[in-house]
Structure 1
């Protein structure tokens, strides 16, 4: 086992003490964990510095507020799958294309639900797949981040070509993001896989913050120009319905 893995295991050993105790002193953690005093002292300091533990004026430690944020994110993402799935299935049955549900995971996007097309020729997209926020149907999430978050991402990301249509120029990407926010949807072509197309729309929570994106995607031969207006309206409507169930006030 590598030393960094041992550190993670010991950290979890400390945090797990709070599964059955709302607060503990250092000596109580020392007794319950069985860890050496110097190691425990060092690790508690690191956990406190990172916000995983907090200490009150009486010297008692408890879990930090960061766990509320993690819990909210996990709950939101689990709830959104349950809420979104029937609407995704209706959309798939209506347009006969694959429907994806995508969330942000740090600087990437993750596909957390999918209703596949019944067409024999289809895209390979599985639940758990990751993609960069700047490319493909994931870009709708980047478009709806706050300006501060969006610019921080753009300043630090290298735009690498993935397929023949991937945007690799930040000026063009910024324009595409602005266009997406103005119109309320994105259309992408051959950005993650060659000869594919997707239409995406944002899913918002009760604070009207982006929590996910929904898209229909398939081979570009089935996404002809005369069909796009219909797909756009239906994807936006599905996103709106899910958003309303999450408490969004968008009309």
Structure 2
């Protein structure tokens, strides 16, 4: 508790007023918060500049559109998680390896859901973990379905660092892998984020046909060997398609 920033906490007090009030002027904010008028005036101006509050011509403040943007983002992410979860559970039970759900967050991928295998030897990942878009099957399948311009900008602005023995650090090789992944509808990685691991990922699309997330199976390479890959690829692609259809995507292929 002692490490909390007092200014931020006071700003939260001001924002919390709008949970029960649609509009407030400065005097009302001062009266309801009990904070000094100069402090409220300064914080309201800062929150307005940041987009958290907006002020009309009558001097009344209300919540800014930034909250709507955040709310829509959280809603969409939670929506994917809620829709995907039963399919992920079925896939995990069918293959008995860990299943990950990953979305893009800027130039990174973030794991928003994970179901562990029931087997004693596991690949360590956790919800909230981040990874570069170029490394690992699941982050890379998202990058593979970005626009050509986005991929070019990403390549120009990203240093390909090595995370494990199989991390792709050559940009020409990465471009070839991205093209192949998009053409075939799945991606495979071997020891790219963690040594001695194999992952298979497929894309999840939204109702507009845009890439929404990546779905992957990951496990120790001693359990996911070459003879197992065709069956795993088919099951991961099938599950990703089922989730996509729940999101409103229409499969027009074939």
Superposed pair shares fold, TM > 0.5: yes
Which residue matches 1:161? 162
Which residue matches 1:143? 144
Q: Secondary structure at the match of 2:118?
A: coil
Deviations 1:168-219 (A, max 9, x none): 2333333333332332221111111011111111222222233321101111
Deviations 1:140-185 (A, max 9, x none): 2233344555445444433221100112233333333333233222
Q: Distance in 2 between matches of 1:29 and 1:178?
A: 55
Matched pairs, number: 250
Q: Secondary structure at the match of 1:111?
A: strand
Displacement after TM superposition at 1:108 (Å) = 2.9
Distance of aligned partners of 1:17 and 1:153 in 2 relative to their CA distance in 1, 3 Å threshold: farther
Distance of aligned partners of 1:176 and 1:8 in 2 relative to their CA distance in 1, 3 Å threshold: farther
Q: Secondary structure at the match of 2:134?
A: coil
Q: Secondary structure at the match of 2:104?
A: strand
Q: Secondary structure at the match of 2:222?
A: helix
Displacement after TM superposition at 1:122 (Å) = 2.2
Distance of aligned partners of 1:149 and 1:28 in 2 relative to their CA distance in 1, 3 Å threshold: farther
Residue 104 (structure 2) pairs with residue 73 (structure 1): no
Which residue matches 1:39? 39
Which residue matches 2:223? 222
Superposition map of 1:1-251 within 5 A: 5-136=5-136, 137-147=138-148, 149-251=150-252
Q: Distance in 2 between matches of 1:53 and 1:148?
A: 34
Q: Secondary structure at the match of 1:194?
A: coil
Q: Distance in 2 between matches of 1:169 and 1:11?
A: 46
Aligned alpha-carbon RMSD (Å)? 2.3
What are the ranges of 5 or more consecutive residues in structure 1 without an aligned counterpart?
none
Deviations 1:217-249 (A, max 9, x none): 111233333332222221111111111111222
Q: Distance in 2 between matches of 1:118 and 1:63?
A: 46
Q: Distance in 2 between matches of 1:23 and 1:159?
A: 49
After TM superposition, the structure 1 stretch with the greater mean CA deviation from structure 2, 130-139 or 186-195, is 130-139
After TM superposition, the structure 1 stretch with the greater mean CA deviation from structure 2, 98-107 or 214-223, is 98-107
Displacement after TM superposition at 1:41 (Å) = 2.7
Q: Distance in 1 between matches of 2:36 and 2:144?
A: 49
Distance of aligned partners of 1:93 and 1:161 in 2 relative to their CA distance in 1, 3 Å threshold: same
Q: Secondary structure at the match of 2:235?
A: helix
Q: Distance in 2 between matches of 1:156 and 1:36?
A: 46
Distance of aligned partners of 1:140 and 1:60 in 2 relative to their CA distance in 1, 3 Å threshold: same
How high is the TM-score relative to the length of structure 1? 0.87
